[in-house]
A and B are shown apart, each in its own frame.
Chain A
C-alpha cells in the first residue's frame, strides 16, 4: 500500500502576539500532518490556541516560526514565502463557521456562487455549480431564500455548500455544530464525512461538542499552545 502524502504539513510552528511583558505565546512548536479524506477534530479549552492554529492552517495569519506546506506548496518557511494567501484560501480552502456567516444580502444560491465569481468564473457557471452543490446538500429548494429565512440546519448546509464551491482540498470548520441540536449536528457531520470521502478533502473541525467526538478519525488536543 502506497503511503498517503499529507495535504497539510506543519513543522515547528510557533506564534506569539505582542512583545515584551504583553507577549502571549499562542502556539509553541506545533508539528502535525493532515491527510486527504480524513475528518480530524481539533479540541482544547478556550484560549488554548486552537483558533490560532486554525487561522495558520487556513492561511489567514502567518506564524512567527516554523514551516508549513499546503497541497505541496510551501506557504511559510521561517518567514513569509511570499505566497498569495488570499488566492490560496480561495483555491484550496473552504471555511465553515459556527454561525454560518452567510452574507445577509445574498440568497442561498448567490452565497455559494459568490466564491466562484471571486475566483473568476462566469456568473452562469457559478450559478450552475451553486445549484449542483445545493442539490448535493439537499437544500436546493431553498436556493432563492435569504439567510434570514433559513433554519439553522439549512443555513449550515448552505454554508457547507459555499465551503465546497471551489473544490477545496482542505475544509476548516469552526464549531460547525455548536448552534445545532444533536440531530442536526449529526446530519452536518455526516455531510462533512461524505465530502471528505467523495472529494478526497481533509476536514479539520474545531469543536467543544462532545456529541460529535465519535465522528472524528482522530482528535488533536491543544493545551497552552502545545499540541498534545
Chain B
C-alpha cells in the first residue's frame, strides 16, 4: 500500500491548502517566465511582421528599433532596383500618445506603403489599408473596434482592420498607417512652427523621410551579397533579419531578461525553502508514526519513499494548480503572458528537482528517528 498517498488522504484538506499556497508561488514563477516570453515574442512580432530578409537603415546605426535611423523616401526605389531584391517597402516607426475612449492611449505607429512590404503580418478582423490617407489597422490590444475613429496629429482616422499580437517592445499596441499619413504625423511641423520657419526663410520640411527599407530577396540570393551592393551607398547600412532580431533582443530585451531571470531564480529559491519547511514540519508531525513504522520493520527506503513521494506530490500538484491559475489570469495581465509548453515541462522538471532537494531535510530528520521512540520510557 502507498503510505504517502494514505497520509495525504488522511489530511487532504490541509494538504490541498498547502498545495494551493505553493501553487501561488509557482504560478508567479510561471507568470514571470510567461512575461519574459511574451516580452521577447512581442518585441520580435514587430520585426517579424514585414517578413523581410534584409533591413536597410541609415549607415552607422543599429536602427530602426535600437537606434534612430533616417533616410530619404526614395531609398526604397534604389533598393528595389538592386539585382536579387524581389520586393521592398518603406517603413517608419514612432511612438505616439493620444486620447481614445476617455483614456490616454500609447501607440506604436508603423507607417508602410499599402500594397508593399512592411504592413501587418495578418489581419484578424476587417481589411488592410486600401487608400493612402485616413485609414488605420490597429492591434486588438488598443481596445478599438472596426469603424471606430481615432484622432492622431491633425486628423481623424478610420479603423478598417484589427490585428493580434502586434505590439512594441514596451508592450504598446501597434497602429498601422499608410506611409504618407505616418510621415505627416512624424515629420510635419505644427502649423505655428511651420509658419515661423517659412517666415524666416527656412526650406520646407523634408516630409519624404523614412526610418528603414525592408527587402525580400529572390530565392537563393545571399543577403550578404545584396548587403555588399547596398553598402556601396555610403549613407546606407544593412542588417539581415537574424541580425535585426538579435539587435532587438540584445539591446531592448536583454536587461528585462536578466531582471526576470534573477527574479525567477529568487522565487524558485523561496519555493525550495517553503517546500523544505513544509516537508520538515510534516515529518515532525509524523515522528511517532515513523518510529512505529521503523519498529514494526519498515525499511529506511520505505520511510524515505513516504517523505519523498509526499514532497513530489505537493510540488507537482502545486505546479498543476499554478499552471491552471496562470492560464486563467494570463489575459488579465497588462503585458502579454506567453505560456509555452516547453517552459511548463522545464519548470515541472525543476520542481521535481526542488522537491527532492527540499525533502532532504525531512528525510534526514526521519532517518534519525529511533524506532525505540515508539516505545515509552
Binding site for B on A (CB under 8 A): 46, 50-51, 54-55, 58, 60-61, 86-87, 89-91, 95, 97-98, 101, 103-106, 110, 113-115, 117-119, 123, 146, 162, 174-175
Contact = CB atoms under 8 A, between A and B. Distances in A.
Contact of B376 (A51, A110, A115, A118): A51
B320 to A, nearest CB: 23
Most buried by B among A58, A105, A106, A162: A105
Contacts of A95: 295-296, 374-375
A101 B297 contact: no
Interface in B294-321: 294-299, 302
B334 interface: no
Given A104-B289, A110-B6, A114-B1, A54 B375 contact: yes
B304 to A, nearest CB: 14
A105 B297 contact: no
Given A105-B10, A117-B1, A174 B296 contact: no
B184 interface: no
A89 B10 contact: no
Given A51-B377, A60-B375, A101-B374, A86 B6 contact: no
A101 B288 contact: yes
A97 B296 contact: no
Nearest to A103: B289
B99 interface: no
Contacts of A91: 297
B289 A97 contact: no
B371 A118 contact: no
A120 B214 CA distance: 72
Contact of A123 (B1, B3, B297, B375): B1
B306 to A, nearest CB: 10
A60 B295 CA distance: 7
B297 A97 contact: no
Interface in B1-50: 1, 3, 6-7, 9-11
Interface residues of B, number: 25
Contacts of A123: 1
B293 A103 contact: yes
A99 to B, nearest CB: 8
Contacts of A175: 376
Contact of B296 (A51, A98, A104, A115): A115
Interface of B: 1, 3, 6-7, 9-11, 288-289, 292-299, 302, 370-372, 374-377
Given A60-B295, A103-B293, A104-B289, A174 B372 contact: no
Nearest to B10: A105
A220 to B, nearest CB: 16
Contacts of B302: 118
A97 B1 contact: no
Contacts of A106: 1, 3, 6
A50 B377 CA distance: 9
Contacts of B292: 97, 101, 103
13 contacts: A51-B377, A54-B377, A55-B372, A58-B295, A60-B295, A60-B372, A97-B374, A97-B375, A98-B376, A104-B10, A106-B6, A118-B297, A123-B1
B1 A86 contact: no
Nearest to B290: A103
Most buried by B among A104, A113, A117: A104
A119 B376 CA distance: 25
B376 A105 contact: no
Contacts of B298: 86, 118
Given A60-B375, A118-B297, 7 more contacts: A86-B294, A91-B297, A101-B292, A103-B289, A105-B9, A118-B299, A119-B297
Contacts of B297: 86-87, 89-91, 115, 118-119
Contacts of A117: 1
A50 B375 CA distance: 11
A101 B293 CA distance: 10
Contacts of B299: 86, 118
Contacts of B372: 55, 60-61
Contacts of B289: 101, 103-105
Nearest to A127: B1
B310 to A, nearest CB: 11
Contacts of B371: 60, 89
A108 to B, nearest CB: 13
A105 B374 CA distance: 16
Nearest to A101: B292
Nearest to A54: B375
A105 B288 CA distance: 13
A46 B6 contact: no
A113 to B, nearest CB: 7
